[in-house]
Every structure is written in structure tokens, then in C-alpha cells.
Amino acid sequence: MGVKRLITNPLRDLARVRPVNTASLAFHRAWPGYQPTPLRAAPHAAARLGVASVLVKDESSRLGLPSFKILGASWATYRALCRHLGVAESSTPVLADLRESLDSHPLQLVAATDGNHGRAVARMAKLLGLRAHILVPHDMVPARIATLREEGAEVTVVAGGYDDAVAASAALADDTHLVISDTSWPGYMDVPAWVIDGYGTLTQEIIEQISEQNLPAPSVVAAQIGVGAFAAAMVRAFSTEGIRVVGVEPTRADCVLAAAEAGDLVTIPDPQDSIMAGLNCGTGSPVAWPDVSAGMSCFAAVEDADAEEAMRLLAEDGIVSGESGAAGLAGLLAFSDELKLTADDHVLVVSTEGATDPVGYERIVGTCPAPQAI
């Protein structure tokens, strides 16, 4: 198990970072009720960090779910189903058109999850009239399992952690079981790459909001890592000269930081059992690794107490953020001195989820807000 630390990325090479793929934008904008999630000012966080401003992309409600994950899951599902069915992709894809093509196809969508990705895949299955089978680690909190079942998914609890759930989901793949994973492995790269592309909608929204609202461009960006899909999308959008992108992981699941130290992907020992459940991964994703390793300025490993502090601080700014959602800010709080943040810095963080574990949120922050209608 790792320790709390901050390292400069020894592999940084901005020339190797791939460009943002914005192909998912038209797809997401065609959804009924689509609107960009808010980019909120966080003055209490700015004061704590001693910086000019903090902007928080608030993903507590995204296309009817309490997490950004639906962006990657929906685009990857669309692309994977088009390929599976031999259906041509439209220049402006519409979900209803795909559902018509699925009539009489007995497909089941399969995914491993620590919560949010699996719920997004299950929601896609429901929207498309398909079944979903979601595999989860043994220590997933009951509230997250309950939401998977509320989406109509079959849920299997695997005797092990997230990586074990991934392996079990991969073993189910066949002609009638389509695996929609946000992590990759040898021979399975396209779908996780499409997940990353789907998150391009989020990063493009941020860029447009900063421009439309005449806000200062960020000089420091925090990005949660996990397997690396979200971090890869953030790196593609924001890793340029003059912007520092800080990758953040739990000390109990610091597999990408360990990979940076080793010079290539590694698998860290079990268990990965941080409260930042969405980041509890033992191995980084090979399809995300090239961008993450090339674009991050530094990597931070933080403790659960750091995430709890960040959740409370975001709540002071009126932002409801779950444990994984607050992890990016947690990294900046934990290492503000080492990062040499100044009053000239403008900070961007993404709160990637709302209170997906209401019991945990109430314990850490206080009264959990009532769930939003979805």
C-alpha cells in the first residue's frame, strides 16, 4: 500500500499527448433534456488554497444520473453496438434510431464497476430495451448496489476487488454479452478508448463555458485517476505549456503513480479499499496510459481524510460532492505548499459525482441532500 506523497512526473512529454476527440458532442447534445453541467465558482476553496480562483465543474447531475460517467458509457455503448450490429454510425447519432436496430437482438450489456460506470451502463441498457449484468467488488456499499438494481440490472458481487470484477466481466464476453468497460486489457482496447472520447463532451463544455463567461484560463487543473480514462480526457484538453495537470489517487490505490515511478504500468497489491471507491483500482488502463503518462505534471496520493476535508470544503461552496468527486480538490489541499500555489493561480477541478453514498456523505459532511429527481 502506498503512502501519502507527491511526485513530479518523470515521463512527461507533451508532444505525445493525443488531441481531444469531440465526436461525442453531437450525440450527447441530441439527448432530450441535455444541457451542460454548471461550472461553479468556489471562493471558500480558493481562500483555503490561497489562489485567485477555483472553478468546479459540478457533475452531481448529468443526463439524469449523479455522475459524469454516463458520458463515456453512452458513447462507448453506441459505438460498440453499431459495430456489433453492423449498423453505420450517423453523422449526428440519435439513441432512438439505435434502439430500433436492436429489435429482436437478445443482447446483454456487461460491465464491472465500483458504482458510477456500472450504473451508467445499466441506464443505457434500460434506454435501449436491453438487459444489463453488472459485476461489483465485495466491499461496495449497499446504496450503490441498490441503485444498480433500481436501474433493472442483474448484479453479481465478486469475491475480490475491482480488478477481480473486471476479470470476471471479461470472461462473460460472447455473441450475446457485450462488455462495456472503462478500462482496457490486451485485445480489448476500442471500447475503453471510446469511453475516453465520450468524456470529451465534458472537457469541451468547460472550455466553452470559460470562454463564454469570460473567465480566466486555468493554470492548475486537478484530475482524479482511477484506471485513467477520465484523467486521459483531462490531459488531452488541458495539458499545454503553462498549465499544470495534477493527477490524484488514493494512497490505497496509487497504481498510476506507482507506474510513473516504475516507468510502465504495474499492478499494486490488494486491497484497494479507500472510501474514494471510484478510484479503487490496482492497475491502470493501457489505452489511457500513454496520455496520462505524457501529460500529467505530477501525481499525488492522498488519504481518505483528505477527501473528507475536500467534501466539507466543497459543501461550504454549495457543491455536493461524493468521496471520489472531491478527490481532485483533495490532492491540491494536501499538497498546496509543495505545489507552490500562488495568488496568481486559477484552479480548475471536476467534482465527478454527487452524494452517491448518502450514508457516507451524512457521516462526513452532515445532512445529505434529498436525491434529485431522475
Question: Is 28 a residue whose pLDDT tops 70?
Answer: yes
Cα separation, 98 vs 217, in Å, equals: 38
Q: What's the whole-number mean pLDDT along residues 95-121?
A: 88
- Return the higher-pLDDT residue of 109 and 85: 109
- For CATH 3.40.50.1100, list the domain ranges present in the chain: 5-67+197-364, 69-187
The domain over range 5-67+197-364 is classified in CATH as 3.40.50.300:
no
Question: Is 373 a residue whose pLDDT tops 60?
Answer: no
Residue 90's pLDDT band, with cuts at 50, 70 and 90, is confident
Residue 370's pLDDT band, with cuts at 50, 70 and 90, is low
pLDDT at 175: 92
Q: Is 69 a catalytic residue?
A: yes
Q: What's the whole-number mean pLDDT along residues 333-346?
A: 98
Q: How far apart are the first and last CA of the chain?
A: 38
What are the residues whose beta carbons fall under 8 Å from the beta carbon of 141, sequence distance 6 or more?
277, 357, 359, 360
pLDDT at 92: 66
pLDDT > 90 in the chain, percent: 88
pLDDT at 86: 87
pLDDT at 102: 84
Write down the mean pLDDT value for the chain: 95
Residue 93's pLDDT band, with cuts at 50, 70 and 90, is confident
Q: Is 58 a catalytic residue?
A: no
Q: Tell me: the pLDDT tens digits for 155-178?
A: 999 999 999 999 999 999 999 999
Question: Is 104 a residue whose pLDDT tops 90?
Answer: no
Q: Tell me: the pLDDT tens digits for 245-293?
A: 999 999 999 999 999 999 999 999 999 999 999 999 999 999 999 999 9
Q: Grid coordinates representing 129?
A: 430495451
Q: Which of 57, 58, 114, 182 is catalytic?
A: 114
Q: Is 141 exposed, middle or buried (0-12, 13-18, 19+ CB in 10 A)?
A: middle
Cα separation, 293 vs 247, in Å, equals: 10
Question: Is 371 a residue whose pLDDT tops 70?
Answer: no
- Return the higher-pLDDT residue of 350 and 89: 350
Q: Contacts by 87-96 with C-beta closer than 8 Å and gap 24+?
A: 91/26, 92/26, 92/27, 92/30, 93/26, 93/27, 93/30, 94/30, 95/27, 95/30, 95/31, 95/127, 95/128
Q: Which of 69, 197, 304, 357 is catalytic?
A: 69
Residue 106's pLDDT band, with cuts at 50, 70 and 90, is confident
Residue type, 250: P
pLDDT at 374: 35
β-bridge partners, 267 = 283
Fold designation for 69-187: Rossmann fold (3.40.50)
- The model's pTM is 0.96
pLDDT at 1: 64
Tell me the DSSP string of 8-60: E-TT--GGGPPPP--THHHHHHTSTT--PPPEEE-HHHHHHHT-SEEEEEE-S
Strand bridging mode 5-8 / 298-302: antiparallel
Cis peptide before 271 (omega within 30 of 0): yes
